[in-house]
Amino acid sequence: MSSGRPRRAEATDVSADQGAAVIAEPWESSQPVDAARAAALVYPQFPALAGAPVRAVATGWDNSVLLVGDVLFRFPRREVAVELQVRELAVLPLVTGLPLPVPEPSHFGAPAADYPWPFWGAPMVPGDELALVPGVDRRAAAEAVGAFLRALHDLRVAVDLPVDPTDRAAPRLRAARTREWLDQLRASRAFAGSAEVDALVDLDLGPPDGPHVLVHGDLHLRHLLVLPDGRPTGVIDWGDTCFADPAVDLSLAYAAFEGRDRAALLAAYGPVDAARELRARSLAVGLCAGLARAACATGEDLLLAEYLRGIRRAVR
């Protein structure tokens, strides 16, 4: 996840009969890693860090993130995250020269007796997740994101990545899941809904014909880091990187920014045609709905409020 503020860990439902974790939701973990477990994994493999203080930093759907000394480690929380880690480590060296910093992996951990998966660490990228500083001036971040995405989407790299494996640029193929999340938010009284939001969910747009470019793949409000004054410091969480329509990343323009800030982002990025804009807006609703559903379930009110604002921004 990120180098942001500490996150409340999600509960895992454990079957009394089988003694195995039963994962009911995608944000729940089969392999949670706390400070003690992180120390037990890191200290033997990286003697230079032995005895260094350990601090939990963030908990995401795919990774537990802990700071050991001055190295930020990412530990997969569920099996699917291991495949995403492979993608992340393949792409990060290719995008270090872009206009915003990205993590630079420096420590590569192996599975251990009581932890089945590899993990990795890098120097900490400073800043807080944009979702955690909702009142900050976003103009500088918007302009930087536009320039960053222009450079990223113009990269031509030879790397083995899937093509939009979760259909993020195809509103019609994601509509059922988005509708489910929105219905759950309505049932919990977190979100009243609107005809404009429903129209974006129900767009009759399947997969785009192309072109496919290198995308971050999961660029939402938690994956852009900023300083307290709003200046951007980095882009994190590259596990969903793939080749896809640029709309997959441009969804951030509609979830995180509006008005003159969004105009500044798009001016720095370049022209976006009407169909791509609709795909990006629809995905912004879907991503924010899923994240809001998780925040609602885990009691993270600050994040919930920001994701609900993201849904509203997407229709403006």
- Domain residue limits, the chain: 13-125, 129-314
Specify the pLDDT at position 30.
82
Specify the pLDDT at position 19.
31
Specify the pLDDT at position 230.
97
**Amino acid (one-letter) located at 218:** D
Query: pTM for the complete prediction?
Result: 0.89
For residue 102, pLDDT over 90 is answered with yes
Reported as a single tens digit per residue, the pLDDT across 255-309 is 999 999 999 999 999 999 999 999 999 999 999 999 999 999 889 999 999 999 9
Decide if 276 contacts 250 (C-beta within 8 A).
yes
Q: 13-125 is classed in which CATH architecture?
A: 2-Layer Sandwich (3.30)
Reported as a single tens digit per residue, the pLDDT across 197-245 is 999 999 999 999 888 999 999 999 999 999 999 999 999 999 999 999 9
Decide if 125 contacts 74 (C-beta within 8 A).
no
The stretch 43-72 carries a mean pLDDT of 95
User: Where do the H-state alpha helices sit in the chain?
Assistant: 35-45, 80-91, 139-154, 171-187, 195-201, 247-255, 259-269, 274-298, 301-314
Reported as a single tens digit per residue, the pLDDT across 108-123 is 999 998 999 999 999 9
The stretch 94-105 carries a mean pLDDT of 97
Going by pLDDT thresholds of 50, 70 and 90, the confidence category of residue 59 is confident
Can you tell me the distance from the alpha carbon of 126 to that of 292, in angstroms, rounded to the nearest whole number? 25
Kindly state the percentage of the chain with pLDDT values over 90: 84
- Homologous superfamily of domain range 129-314: Aminoglycoside phosphotransferase (APH), C-terminal lobe (3.90.1200.10)
Q: Report how far apart, in Å, the C-alpha atoms of 125 and of each of 74, 148, 182, 311 are.
A: 13, 16, 33, 27
Can you tell me the distance from the alpha carbon of 64 to that of 35, in angstroms, rounded to the nearest whole number? 10
Going by C-alpha positions, the residue among 67, 105, 68, 58 that lies closest to residue 86 is 105
Specify the pLDDT at position 18.
30
31 phi/psi in degrees, rounded to 5: -140, 70
Specify the pLDDT at position 247.
98
Q: 119 in helix, strand or coil?
A: strand
Q: To the nearest whole number, what is the mean pLDDT of the chain?
A: 91
For the chain, the straight-line distance linking the first and the last C-alpha, in angstroms and rounded, comes to 28
Can you tell me the distance from the alpha carbon of 114 to that of 57, in angstroms, rounded to the nearest whole number? 22
Task: Report the interhelical angle of 274-298 vs 171-187 (nearest 10°).
Answer: 30
Q: Report how far apart, in Å, the C-alpha atoms of 151 and of each of 156, 162, 214, 269 are.
A: 10, 20, 10, 9
Can you tell me the distance from the alpha carbon of 217 to that of 66, in angstroms, rounded to the nearest whole number? 23
Going by pLDDT thresholds of 50, 70 and 90, the confidence category of residue 133 is very high
